[in-house]
A and B are shown apart, each in its own frame.
Chain A
Amino acid sequence: MAALTATARPRKLLASRRTRVGILYALPVVVYLLVLFVYPIFGTLFLSLKNADGSLTLHWYVDALTGVNLSVLITTLRISAETALLSLVFGFVLANAISRLKPLWAGLAMLVVVVPHFISALVRTYGWIILLGDKGLVNETLAGLSVPGTPYRLLYNELGVVIGTTSMMLPYTVLLLYGVMRGVDRRLLAAAASMGAGRVTIFRRVYLPLVAPGLASAGLLSFILSLGYYITPALMGGPNQTMIATLINQQVTKENQWNGAAAQGVILLLLTLAGLLLVKLVSSLGASRKKRSAS
């Protein structure tokens, strides 16, 4: 017994050396993000709950959820939902097409998806402004084709904003869905066909259920990412397309209304966290389904 305790010690020491190295190396990132990420978020939270005299209050939240601010919140949710839906549909079609293309073409198509992803949203938004103006390429082309009613008003309204944000979210959904589609076992589809299922039936009864969890997460993610979007709505929208991030920005840079901005920031944060929770739920649902089908 004595020998046992004596020999157990060096082993523990070795294990703790690996642990010590781990803690030491994890320290920079943890400290950095605690100080410059977590702490400021808590700072925001406290500020959103504080009166001018320092007492606790909820009235910044009441402000944020009434009147104009409420309609801004609703606009934010609406535009985000529209964006998520459109980028999901387009993303699905494009990812599906890429997964069926010949390797060279698929590579090139993916390049067209990936490159914009890394170009500043500001720059791409500016590109849309040039394209969608009254004398922009789109209206000129439509006029050239003698489409009645040109020029269409494509900017500084909800249509413009949704076009812009959708093109920002599209690379995400394409990349996510492409990954999901590559994970689908194609032999299942062939198996369904061998049993006499038609093209539509295979799509609806086999393919769609297989990719559904991926679709749901991709849609939710682009919804979440749209919620905090600011550049595109601010530049391509009109006064009716003010989103919550724009409002936060205005209150900080123009009105010095930090408490209100903090309350709206916390609301945005909570919406995001709720969305992330849903994503997690959906993906664990998908995982358990996969497990069941595998066993």
Chain B
Amino acid sequence: MMELRKTVAGRIALTAVATVILLFLALPIVVILVTSFSSNAFSAFPPEVWTLNWYKALFADGSKWPAALSLSALIAALSTVFSLIIAVTAATALTRSELPLRSAVYALVLGPLLIPQIVTALGLFLLFEPAAMLGSPLAIALGHTVLASPIAVLILIATLRGIDERLEDAAASMGAGRMTIARRITFPLAAPGMIAAAVFSFITSFDEFYISQFLSSVGTITLPVQVYNSLTFDIDPSVTAVSAILIAFAVLALALVALVRWLGSGRQNSLLSVENTAGIANPAEETV
């Protein structure tokens, strides 16, 4: 309430409560990062002895982690490619053409984001099981694309809406053909959005658990499923190090998106402004 004067007591109370809630959000993450360097990988905080043992153990002989990591990376890469193909075409259709049943298509795109993931996963299981495709990395990637492509579509819709369509008219008036306009005008301007869409598709697939679990077999266990199994069945202390790596990976990906957004916006807001940080979380804010 900007225009109302603030009382000192009110301000202190608000700051205190806000800090506690922020701690509530941050602590589970901080504790993993710290514990991953602790000699006791499960509790005892702060660590008494610092060590890199859990990270070394990840790559020890007989470790399941490298296989899970590369499988997840492969699947995430595949679904990123699928999602981008789907998203570029879909966003073009939804922003740059006259599409009959536009709102129906839009609702279909939003569907996977709103329906419980377990239901989507169950459906995919029932689809792929009779096709004997359980355990196929391709099946898992196709499944992940169901969740990742809508996010990519929303990001690219927002991106294309943000590009003045008349810039394309201007290029046409100078003699540029459809392909030239796409290559020299639209694509360079949409690049930050494309990068964001790719990063979010990748993260979505990389972190996805439900579909991976339903479609996995003994031979194809993705990283999140391996983490889950480690937490429920065979307690493997390296899981802390894996979690820390996943955190670092997510932070790096977000930093990349934030940077690209910031550069793409012509550095209007400061890199750490609320507009920028909240914008990362909701890259499709104009459409949702």
Tell me, yes or no, whether A and B come into direct contact in the complex with CB atoms closer than 8 A: yes
Interface stretch among B55-63, B82-90, B169-177, B181-189? B82-90
Interface flags, A2-43, vs B, CB<8A=1, else 0: 000000000000010011011111111110111011111101
A231 contacts which chain B residues (CB < 8 A)?
Answer: 209, 228
Say which residue of A30, A100, A126, A175 sits within 8 Å of B281 (CB atoms). A175
**Assuming A118-B254, A127-B243, A265-B119, is B281 touching A108 (CB within 8 A)?**
no
The A/B interface has a contact count, at CB < 8 Å, of 304
Residue on A nearest B117 in the bound complex, by CB: A228
Q: Point out the residue from A40, A108, A131, A272 that lies within 8 Å of B272, measured CB to CB.
A: A108
Contacting pair A112 B25 (CB below 8 A): yes
Q: How far is the CA of A25 from the CA of B4 in the complex (A)?
A: 51
Give Cα A193–Cα B1 distance, bound, in whole angstroms.
11
Which residues of chain B from 154 to 210 have a CB within 8 Å of any chain A CB?
203, 207, 209-210
Give A21 to B182 CA distance when docked, in angstroms: 14
Chain A contacts for B26, CB-based, 8 A: 112, 116
* Chain A, residue nearest B123 (CB): A40
Stretch at the interface among A57-65, A67-75, A89-97, A287-295: A89-97
Query: A32 contacts which of B86, B94, B213 (Cβ < 8 Å)?
Result: B86
In this assembly, does B219 line the interface, its C-beta being within 8 Å of a C-beta of chain A? no
A146, CB-defined interface residue at 8 Å = no
Instruction: Quote the shortest CB–CB distance from B288 to chain A (angstroms).
Output: 10
Is B68 in contact with chain A by the CB < 8 A criterion? no
The answer to whether B2 and A43 have CB atoms under 8 Å apart is no
Complex CA gap A127/B251 in Å reads 16
**Total interface residues in chain B, CB < 8 Å:** 93
Query: Does the CB pair A28–B250 fall under 8 Å?
Result: no
Question: B65 in the interface, Cβ–Cβ < 8 Å?
Answer: no
**A85 on interface, CB distance cutoff 8 Å:** no
Tell me if B143 counts as interface (CB < 8 A to partner A).
Answer: yes
Residues of A within 8 A of B218 (CB): none
B44 within 8 Å of A (CB atoms)? yes
Contact A178 B98 (CB under 8 A): no
Interface presence of A190 (CB below 8 A): yes
Q: Is the CB of B2 within 8 A of A100?
A: yes
The answer to whether B32 and A43 touch across the interface, beta carbons within 8 angstroms, is no
- Report the minimum CB–CB distance from B86 to chain A (whole Å): 5
Assess whether A112 is in contact with B127, with CB atoms less than 8 Å apart: no
Residues in A neighbouring B209, C-beta threshold 8 A = 120-122, 231
Expressed in whole angstroms, the Cα–Cα distance for A140 and B28 within the complex equals 15
Report the minimum CB–CB distance from B76 to chain A (whole Å): 12
- Could you tell me if A117 and B111 are in contact, using CB atoms closer than 8 angstroms? no
A227 CB to closest chain B CB, in angstroms? 6
Cβ of A242: which chain B residues have Cβ within 8 Å of it? none
Chain A residues with Cβ below 8 Å from B87 are: 29
B135 CB contacts on chain A under 8 angstroms: none
Q: Residue B123 contacts which of A41, A100, A123 (CB distance < 8 angstroms)?
A: A41
Write the chain A residue with the least CB distance to B33. Answer: A127
**Which of chain A's residues have a CB closer than 8 A to the CB of B112?**
33, 37
* B94 close to A26 (CB less than 8 A): yes
B145 at the interface (CB under 8 A from A): yes
Q: Do A44 and B122 form a contact, CB below 8 Å, given A117-B281, A135-B43, A171-B281?
A: yes
A147 at the interface (CB under 8 A from B): no
- Verify if B52 is at the interface (C-beta below 8 Å from A): no
A167 within 8 A of B: yes
Contact flags A150-177 to B (C-beta < 8 A → 1, else 0): 0000000000000000010011000100
From B6, B21, B35, B116, A272 is in contact (CB under 8 Å) with B116
What is the chain B residue whose CB lies nearest that of A47? B126
| Cβ contacts under 8 Å, B231 to chain A | 122, 126, 129, 235
25 contacts between A and B (CB under 8 A): A21-B97, A22-B99, A23-B100, A26-B105, A28-B89, A34-B108, A44-B122, A94-B18, A97-B17, A104-B272, A107-B276, A112-B25, A120-B224, A122-B231, A124-B28, A127-B32, A129-B231, A170-B25, A175-B278, A231-B209, A235-B231, A249-B118, A261-B122, A265-B123, A272-B115
Beyond A179-B282, A224-B114, 10 additional contacts (C-beta under 8 Å) are A19-B98, A21-B97, A22-B98, A26-B94, A36-B142, A37-B123, A126-B227, A245-B116, A268-B118, A269-B116
